[in-house]
Structure 1
């Protein structure tokens, strides 16, 4: 059973299961995050949904690049969690299955290609307080405590 973070499902809503791959990206004593500015500013672990026919690791590479402009190496899965959320950009109630990886940011290619995203560097202990969802905060706290490296 995968640990749940956040609010329980809303009674009467139908949820679509959406698997996503997300990354802790430490470099030195900092962690690479993304800030999505719309509909409200939200600090997130870089990553996102796995498309049909795509592997979670391929989705991780694609999503990290789109949201941060960075390439990564050596992704290693360290855990998973689920959360129930309304996704306004898709007008969808989703049961998000979040696969969490740690990887090494290796090369900045440019700015994020995903609209309304900005790459942000911060200390893991700060990220553990500011990330927008409890699951992301949990894994950032693990990183801050153990300083996991890829």
Structure 2
């Protein structure tokens, strides 16, 4: 049985009105536009409630680099055929137009958690490693 809201004003008979999943879109901020961030955005847009039209989702990806894809673009051999395949897959996700990308945004300096919480329903951190790990 779906959730309903009743109009019980004295001048009209009670009526049941379906309540949708949200009165507005679910707004999600993702910090980090590397593979994890882009794939998280992709999964959210492909979720059953979104695909069934029960829920709309607006996703904004933020990254400190001017372009998305993180170390796949900046740190790993970008000319390797396998890496090119990953970049192409990530590119297809962002080319659909349902996910916005904001580059050159430094979390903690340009935008803070308080700012994100004020404007978004959810925040996902997909930043990856900031520094190399010592193997010793």
**TM-score for both structures, normalised by structure 2:** 0.28
| More helix as a share of residues | 2
| More strand as a share of residues | 1
- CA radius of gyration, larger in: 2
